[in-house]
Amino acid sequence: MNRRFQFSLKWLLLTVAAVVARRRANLATRAAIIEVRAATAKSRESKVARLEELQTFKKIVSPFEAVVMRRSAEVGMLVTAGQDAPFVLEDTSRVRVQVNVPQTYAMQTRPGVAVAINVPEATSPDVLASVTRIAESVDAASRTMLAEIELENSSHRLQPGSYVQVALTMPQEESAWTIPANTVSMRVEGPHVALVNGLNEVEIQPVRLGRDLGKRVVVLEGITGEERLVVNPGDDLTSGIRVRISQPQESTAALARR
């Protein structure tokens, strides 16, 4: 009786162990199936994301508010990598004016120097601004220095690519007079001017010239600004010649400006 009971109990334990092992195997199989299905679902999600990304290629969205300046693609055209950009965008809310400053004025040009920008075709007043940055070097080929001026252009008054005229206000370390170029006589001794003194006599005065401004020339030394100058003085004009003033007396201060 005891042996039969022990045999029955042993058979029951073996049966329970087999059932537990079988169920564990089923659980492992189902877990593997779940992992496979999860991987399949993730793969399909990736495919959906890729297809959604491809759909976004149908629409080109500008990263900033801009104006299409040039377009090389049309509806239905196939655009592939390596080709020219289908669109060229420009943000015209701010513009940059580039000026090639001659070497003569390069030393006086610094950030903050006041400028007046004029569009020859426009009837509106000049745009007042200041130099934003400079190149700090002179180009060896053109002997000019690049200066840049950034302007707010929300009204679209200035169009990119346009030609403008820029007037720079150059700070002067020392004041100088400018006189009409036709009052200067070039002689062997150097540049001279003929002035009329208080006795209406001609005096030949040597001067030291500065920059040539075209119709006017800068005089660094030789005059004080109160002289009366002779226009178009000839080579035969010498000091001591007495002249008669036929027009109201006009000093250098009236002809010249600082």
The per-residue pLDDT for 258 is 44
Per-residue pLDDT of the chain (258 residues), as tens digits, is 455 555 565 666 667 777 778 888 888 888 889 999 999 999 999 999 998 888 887 777 777 777 888 888 777 777 777 777 788 888 888 899 999 998 888 888 889 999 999 888 888 888 899 999 999 899 999 999 999 999 988 888 888 888 999 988 876 555 678 888 898 888 888 898 888 888 888 888 898 888 787 888 888 888 887 888 888 888 778 888 887 777 655 555 555 554
Percentages (nearest 5) of helix, strand, coil residues in the chain: 25, 30, 45
Spatial CA neighbour of 239 closest among 177, 207, 208, 193:
193
Give the bridge partners for 194, in sequence order. Answer: 204
Say how far apart CA 223 and CA 175 lie, in whole Å: 12
Q: Could you tell me the CA-to-CA distances from 123 to 44, 162, 228 in Å, in that order?
A: 64, 15, 39
First to last CA, the chain: 137
Spatial CA neighbour of 85 closest among 75, 71, 74, 64:
71
Compute the residue count for the chain: 258
Phi, psi of 44 (to 5 degrees): -65, -35
Spatial CA neighbour of 245 closest among 204, 205, 199:
199
Spatial CA neighbour of 170 closest among 205, 140, 210:
210
Q: Could you tell me the CA-to-CA distances from 215 to 66, 97, 157, 224 in Å, in that order?
A: 45, 28, 33, 20
